[in-house]
Amino acid sequence: MNKVISILLALLATLSLNGAEMPVERIYVSTDREVYIAGDMVWCSLFCVDPQGRLSPGSAVSYLELISTEGTVAEAKVGLLAGRGAGSFRIPVTVPTGVYRLVSYTSANTNEDGTPWIAGSRILTIFNTLSVSRVKDGVEILDEDSYSKLTRKASPTFGSVEFSSSARVKRGSDVGVFIKNNGLPADFSFSIYHEDDIIPAAQGNNISGFLKSLPSSAHPRFTGDRPLEYEGEIITAHVKGNMATLSSAGAPSNMYVGMADNGKVSFMTNNIYGERDLVCEVSGPGSEDGAIEFDNPFIYPSSGQLPKLAMSKVLQSDLVSRKVALRGERTLRLDTLSTMLRHREDLFLESAPLKRFHLDNYTRFPTVREVLVEIIPILSVHREKGKNIIRITVLDGADVYKTRVGNLLVMMDGVVVSDVDMLLEFDAMLIEDVDVYQQAVTCGPVSYSGVVNFITKRNYVTALTFPSNVRVLDYQGVSYPVAYYGNPPEGEGDDLRQVLYWDPSLRVDAGGQSRVTFRTPGYAGRFRAVADGIAEDGSPVHYEWTFEVE
């Protein structure tokens, strides 16, 4: 049912492009800091708003591009829930030193004439400590005296959010910060990071300027025909055949069916998260070679005018410190300390009852056929029209067991396996669990009498030799939304963290307060805490505070 709704929404989205008024969305990008080195992780917080500055419930996915005057160097996808999004990407180690613009847009924005949505972009200063390469005409070399006269441009305060904490704290200690809100409920990103003597390039905009720009860009001219993505990313591809199924290893809910129209197929997803191996099976006339080519959803806009990056030999010490900190990041296992935030889940199998059959080390059979006979009696193998099929005993509406010969969806590790013989020939000793869904489910234009998913010990499905009409493709999914709540890292070496705390979506009610606790690192220095976001009435929120670690 959810897939049917997705198709109807996509149809409505397409129809809206042919005359009805298009929705207007704008995205403001906030990041954990302003200065990075190549190889750093960038954590992002997105605010997707309507022309009045209120969070928009429209699009379910956005696209990020990190661009210089020479073009795009990094891409990412970020899911949106009720106008808010969080994600991350790693800066490639090959990017040249310079100033970059981080832009975010939705499918609705891609239909607009020009790029008025660039007003919510973010300026990032990036140094490459492994290369002397620089963005062409994007760097200015200063002597030490001239550089010492530069100052970080002060950011104005907006709204009624403020911090309260000690101005001086000890290294390696737990510190609490009280965030007070004397105004309307506010939703903002909150970051605490090390601030050295590197002067970032001027932002050129802030949350207040972004919100003020909305009225002038509320009536753009629409010239494109890209469908609106209300339920999740719409993956489009060119295929040879009349139908295609798309599934991803390790996630049985990430299964989609699309019917081809003039060689083009669309998969209406609820957002596929993470870097995935996608398995696409094409069927119908001409599908023997399994040809499929995904369309690129990124549009590679111009960066617009960017400031030059001021550099000096005086920065060498700070850059070396950042390089050492980045090298120690994996040793401290910061990735394991992140907290997964709420995100849009696929609902394909959400309501279907599940029976799990665990194949332990004591009850084992050498073949899949014997496993079905001895352990899973609700499944059985039959021969039909010269091919093996699996039948399932299902529950009807009155909860009465009934055998259906109908179309059973067979999967391994979440990947569709249409050739049952390939499954029967698989080593049953490598299977750990078998999940059986005994109710009919619908996926796009196709209904199935039930679902069975054979779960292997280590996602062995990707090692199968698929028939010629199947392709396994690397896919860049939507970034997982995460927060880092300042948990003390464990590992060898010193604690040299540059970012001490990151919450992409911290909400404080009217007249309320929130207490944030984090661990200071093992070195002394100046640190900055920043809140950046929007109040309930669409007004800006921004507050900064610095403290010293001794």
Q: What is the pLDDT of residues 123-150, one digit of tens each?
A: 999 999 999 999 999 999 999 999 999 9
- Say yes or no to pLDDT of 351 above 80: no
In degrees and rounded to multiples of 5, residue 380 shows phi and psi of -150, 150
- pLDDT surpasses 50 at 14: no
Please name the residues in contact with 166: beta carbons below 8 A apart, sequence gap of 6 or more. Answer: 175, 547
Report the pLDDT value the prediction gives residue 225, as an integer from 0 to 100.
87
Pairing, β 408-412 against β 450-456: parallel
* DSSP-H helix ranges across 34-185: 107-110, 144-148
The pLDDT confidence band at residue 18, using thresholds 50, 70 and 90, is very low
- Residue 344 — pLDDT band, cuts 50, 70, 90? confident
Q: Tell me what pLDDT residue 440 has.
A: 83
Averaged pLDDT of the chain: 89
**What whole-number distance in Å separates Cα of residue 72 and Cα of residue 298?**
10
CATH superfamily of 354-458: TonB-dependent receptor, plug domain (2.170.130.10)
DSSP, res 357: E
CB neighbour class for 470 (10 Å; exposed up to 12, middle 13-18, buried from 19): buried
Q: Which residue has the higher pLDDT, 109 or 14?
A: 109
Is the model's pLDDT at 15 over the cut of 50? no
Would you say residue 201 has pLDDT above 80?
Answer: yes
Q: What pLDDT does 323 receive?
A: 95
CA angle 245, 250, 253 (to 5 degrees): 55
Residues 27-54 have pLDDT tens digits of: 999 999 999 999 999 999 999 999 999 9
Q: How far is residue 192's CA from residue 416's CA, in Å, rounded to a whole number?
A: 45
Q: What is the model's pLDDT at position 334?
A: 60
Report phi then psi at 533, rounded to 5.
180, -150
**Average pLDDT of span 334-353:** 76
Q: Are strands 139-141 and 309-311 parallel, antiparallel or unpaired?
A: parallel
Mean pLDDT: which of 141-150, 220-229, 387-396 is highest? Answer: 141-150
In this predicted model, what pLDDT tens digit does every residue of 241-256 receive, in sequence order? 899 999 988 887 889 9
8 or 88: which carries more pLDDT confidence?
88
pLDDT score of 363 more than 80: no
> What average pLDDT does range 253-269 have in this prediction?
92
Question: Residue 538's closest CA among 208, 57, 237?
Answer: 208
Mean pLDDT of 233-239: 94
Is the confidence at residue 239, as pLDDT, over 60?
A: yes
Determine if the pTM surpasses 0.85: yes
Please enumerate in sequence order all residues whose Cβ is within 8 A of that of 409, keeping only pairs 6 or more positions apart, or say none: 255, 416, 441, 443, 448, 450, 451, 452
SS3 label, residue 287: helix
For residue range 153-189, what is the model confidence (pLDDT) as tens digits?
889 999 999 998 999 999 999 999 999 999 999 999 9
For residue 251, the model assigns a pLDDT of 80
Q: Where in the chain is the domain with CATH 2.170.130.10?
A: 354-458
Instruction: Please work out, in degrees rounded to the nearest 5, the angle formed at the alpha carbon of residue 126 by the alpha carbons of 146 and 494.
Output: 100
On the question of pLDDT at 486 being above 90, the answer is: no
Could you read off the pLDDT of 70-127 as tens digits, one per residue?
999 999 999 999 999 999 999 999 999 999 999 999 999 999 999 999 999 999 999 9
